[in-house]
Structure 1
Amino acid sequence: MTLAPERHASTKPQGINPRLRVQSDTPRPQRPALKKSGRPNPAAHLTPEQIEGIGHELDALRKEVMDSRGERDAAYIRKVIKTQRYLEMGSRAVLLFSGVKVKGIRPAWWLGTAGLSVAKILENMEIGHNVMHGQWDWMRDPKIHSTAWEWDNASPASQWKHSHNEIHHTFTNVLGRDNDLGYGILRVDEDQKWTLFSLFQPIWHVGNALLFEYSIAAYDLELGKYVATKNRMTDEQKAEFRANRSEVLQKIKRQATKDYLVHPAMSAVTGSARTTLTANLVANLVRNVWTNTVIICGHFPPGISTFEKTSIEGETRGEWYLRQMLGSGNISGSKAMHVMTGNLSHQIEHHLFPDMPSNRYAQIAPRIQDLMERHELPYVTGSLWKQAASVYWKVVELSLPNKVEGRRRRDIVRLELKKAQQKRRRARR
């Protein structure tokens, strides 16, 4: 962990969305039984009064937990940080001898790489992600504060906090507003428009997992939006993009220098420069794939709902809470697994209370599940392997157009290919 330079842009973490009122100024309509796509609406049976009641119950639960924060919570995060630091330092020390062979294998390489992989995962998930959400700001510790933390990742903290805390957690799973929904390259819901680009998403999905930290950096930079709209941008907007791009490139340079130059150079004295380099590369790949897997399991498995832009107009806090519950999924497992996921295995609880200390999510999870079951709402959860497999299958299935009665999907693909070819021919004339 290093202290980040002072930020001038607002990166204030989001707790209860401040733009929402407990009650609406006007009567809220009953939710329709079906969405525009024709799929059932899982919250159609709830009255506006019931949704308001859910909001009051969750407000009370949040206050109860936040008022009880204390030394036990502070000791928890300090212990995790201390453990991560010792694990990283110890692993890097072991890698000084990663080139030494014992009976044909390099035990120091395997041990050091495993330790470094775990250390990087802990730093990103249970520490970096949660610290930057403001979960530990109440401690008033300048070294464990959302405005000061810079994580071991290609994406600068300020840009990540804007795209994640301010946009994703405000507009969770709202089509056209939440760019985290497929990260702009994946179609993960039937209500998302299908294009020929979708055919290749099983390939994009694997590539995105392997290079996840760089994908997130490009995503936080809004690189795709810049490419698509740069001809319509003002000079000020272009200048802002160039400044952000420079910040990202500088961060990537620092990360690459640390992992692929400095530490291998330190191992050169023991003849282990090359093996230390490969260990760092593998540790980063392991961290990327693990982080991607945890994220997709919390956002994209079957049973997760998406929402139209119009559905959040005049949204109350109870309706926002409802959207967080229906738009997230959990991962079941051991305490160790929860820590390794940054407690994002409790994604439903995290989306409800993003600034609540992560060690409290397991405590409130049974109460959230009880609340949802009492209101006949699906509490989506499952093992890591089950959730991950379901998402990978969904990515493959949704690479094809939706099934339409009376039409074969391959015919829809052929028609779109024909239209694309005709468009190219017209453009050449």
Structure 2
Amino acid sequence: MTLAPERPTTAKGIDPRLRVESDAPRPQRPALKKSGRPNPAAHLTPEQIEGIGRELDALRAEVMDSRGARDAAYIRKVIKAQRYIEMGSRAALLFSGVKVKGVRPLWWVGTAGLSVAKILENMEIGHNVMHGQWDWMRDPKIHSTAWEWDNASPSSQWKHSHNEIHHTFTNVLGRDNDLGYGILRVDEDQRWTPFYLFQPIWHVGNALLFEYSIAAYDLELGAYMAKKDRMSEEQKAEFKNNADEVVAKIKRQATRDYVVHPALAAVTGSARTTLTANLVANLVRNVWTNTVIICGHFPPGIATFEKTSIDGETRGEWYLRQMLGSGNISGTKAMHVMTGNLSHQIEHHLFPDMPSNRYAEIAPRIRDLMERHDLPYVTGSLWKQAGSVYWKVVELSLPNKVEGRRRRDIVKLELTKAWRKKKRARRA
């Protein structure tokens, strides 16, 4: 295989600034976190954590040094299959208006195929390419600096919020905004406010419109709305440029899916059915992507961390946080491919720039490592993991249980405080 010249990358692997050993002795982890909840790694000594770091460094080096033709063939095969599925589906949709015994068979075939194609493009291809998993191939067509995916969020903005922030501060309260995306309370250590009472409703809305929610999240729209009066002109100009980029990206997508392809199908009388097929495929992709992602960090048994807990963090401690802050989904090989191998979320968070086809290979060794150190390897079926998250979203829409107090009394008190505060603000 001929390699092109090396290109700069914005992909996020393991922060090279993290050292295996600390300059100063690391303290023993307390049995309880500040919230009073158990610390799942309290039984590990600093020396044991350093040992975990060394073992995972060795595993990473072993796999990364063995990358080659087999891996390159895998990603090229997936890309080729995705493109054939999309082309075949769009061809079928040109005749999706044709009825056979009252049914439009090509609408169903085209919609199902297009849904699969969009999921593959986002998950196994786009997400992993933009992590730099295939940069070692030096193929300019499959490089993290060049890939633009079929998603409302521009790749540059997504790589900043996901690769640089989420993977660095995984599940750190107040630092990792992916922990509920700023609109969901998914952990008891997150402070409850009346805002969360309605989160079961907008959790469903967020799933249906997930690509647009992520675009707004990557744009940091909420932070802009809260701080715009205190922002400098330069900061406002930067936000406007980023917002213009998002709007332009959404326009391109909408034009392709809801104007160009329906117009092409108008010749065969299938414009309306092609439009609905594109809409349904995008909704299916959004719900699937959301489901896979929430299963990676929100199910019961996955830990969160305080800001101060990562001060002076070593590489072993970073590895430990990734293992405790992630969860897997069990299933078939086909299911793993459709999740972008994020069903191996623990392995992905340990080695985000490792080729995704290698995660299944190393998963047994990661599980063995964690079980040897009495660490919970959180995994379960898709239905179990997703169901547990939906139940958690409902449960945590209410305040935590407090001995001697009823939840409804806490809600009533907080609503009264919020109403009085708003009333005072109006008077002022």
TM bracket (short chain)? over 0.9
Residue of structure 1 in register with 2:179 after alignment: 181
Q: How does 1:105-184 map to 2 (within 5 A)?
A: 105-184=103-182
- 1:127-163 CA-to-partner distances (Å, cap 9, x unmatched) read 0000000000000100000000000000000000000
Q: Report the Cα distance in structure 2 between the residues aligned to 1:91 and 1:57, rounded to whole angstroms.
A: 46
Alignment of 1:306-325 (within 5 A): 306-325=304-323
2:357 to 334, 356, 359: 359
Single out whichever of 14-23 and 154-163 deviates more from structure 2.
14-23
- Give the alignment partner of residue 272 of structure 1, picking from 270, 273, 296: 270
Equivalent residue number for residue 191 of structure 1: 189
Displacement of 1:166 in angstroms is 0.3
Runs of 4+ in 1 over 2 A off after TM superposition: none
CA deviation map 1:297-350 (0-9, x unaligned) = 011000000000000000000000000000000000000000000000000000
Residue 386 of structure 1 aligns to a residue in which SS? helix
Name the SS for the 1:246 alignment partner. Answer: helix
The amino acid across from 2:19 in the alignment is: R
Aligned counterpart, 1:400: 398
Q: Tell me the SS of whatever aligns to 2:380.
A: strand
Deviations 1:106-140 (A, max 9, x none): 00000000000000000000000000000000001
1:251 aligned residue: 249
Q: Distance in 2 between matches of 1:228 and 1:25?
A: 40
Which of 207, 210, 213 pairs up with 1:209?
207
Counterpart of 2:301? Answer: 303
CA distance in 1, matches of 2:249, 2:232: 26
* CA-CA distance at 1:66 after TM superposition: 0.1
**Partners in 1 of 2:426 and 2:235 — Cα distance?**
31
Deviations, residues 192-243 of structure 1 (Å, cap 9, x unaligned): 0101010000011000000000000000000000001111111111110000
Q: Which residue of 1 aligns with 2:220?
A: 222
- Residues 326-365 of structure 1: pairs in structure 2 closer than 5 A: 326-365=324-363
Partner amino acid, structure 1, of 2:419: Q
CA contact (8 A) 1:11 1:161 kept: no
Match of 2:3 in 1: none
The code of the aligned residue for 2:251 comes to K
**C-alpha separation in 1, matches of 2:365 and 2:143:** 29
The 1:222/1:297 distance shift into structure 2, 3 A limit, reads same
What amino acid is the match of 2:324?
A: L
Q: Structure 1 residues 253-262 or 20-29, which shifts more?
A: 20-29
SS in 2 for 1:331: strand
Q: 2:4 matched to which residue of 1?
A: none
1:34-113 alignment, distance < 5 Å: 34-113=32-111
May I ask how many residue pairs the two structures share in their alignment? 421
Which range moves more in the overlay, 326-335 or 413-422?
Answer: 413-422
2:374 aligned residue: 376
Please tell me the residue identity of whatever aligns with 2:95: F
Distance between the aligned counterparts of 1:359 and 1:344, measured in 2?
11
Q: Give the Å deviation of 1:18.
A: 2.1
Once the two structures are TM-superposed, the CA of residue 15 in structure 1 deviates from its matched residue by 1.1
Q: Structure 1 length normalisation: TM-score?
A: 0.97
Identity of aligned residues (%): 88
AA in 1 matched with 2:218? D
Q: What is the match of residue 284 of structure 2?
A: 286
Compute the displacement of 1:11 (Å): 6.1
Secondary structure of the residue that 1:146 maps to in structure 2?
coil
Rounded Cα–Cα distance in structure 1 between residues aligned with 2:194 and 2:9 = 37
